[in-house]
Amino acid sequence: MGRHRNDPQGLARIAIIVVAVAVVIGLIAVGGSALVRSMNSESAAPGATVSPSQQPEQVLTKGEAPQAYATIEVVGRSVKIYAAEPGQGEVYWNALFNQGDSRRIAWKDLDMTISDAAAVQLTVKGKALRLPPKGPVSIRFTDGVPEIVD
């Protein structure tokens, strides 16, 4: 019978495996933390929601836009409002607004979708805009003039 000898490359193989496992664990940890940070960041991407209480109350304008000409106020419990530039433009709001929240509108061209028309009061140039009694509603503002889209 032969003598059992130590494999001269055995320790090197073990060290390579240990390093590979450590690298995999490190990559998983870095990827997981990046994923968590991206999910917790305040994003305005479509589908992302940001609590309106986290947003500062301000007139949001694009460029050198004039004073706000319209106001949307939540009078019901809560409502989801999506507002963006027409087409595939910048998303201004995509959030759940609660009773008492209000926002001023200064963008002249805007597409807005409201999840429940009965939950909001929309005022344009000092006059209340008549919305459907309930259900979702889409409104297109062109040069500051609102039009309810079917």
Domain segments of the chain as ranges? 1-41, 52-149
Percent of the chain with pLDDT over 70: 77
pLDDT tens, position by position, 73-98: 999 888 999 988 888 788 888 889 99
pLDDT in tens, 35-61: 888 777 544 444 444 444 444 444 444
Q: What is the mean pLDDT of residues 126-141?
A: 87
β-strands 70-74, 78-84 pairing: unpaired
SS3 (DSSP) at 134? coil
Beta bridge partners of 17: none
Q: pTM of the entire structure?
A: 0.53
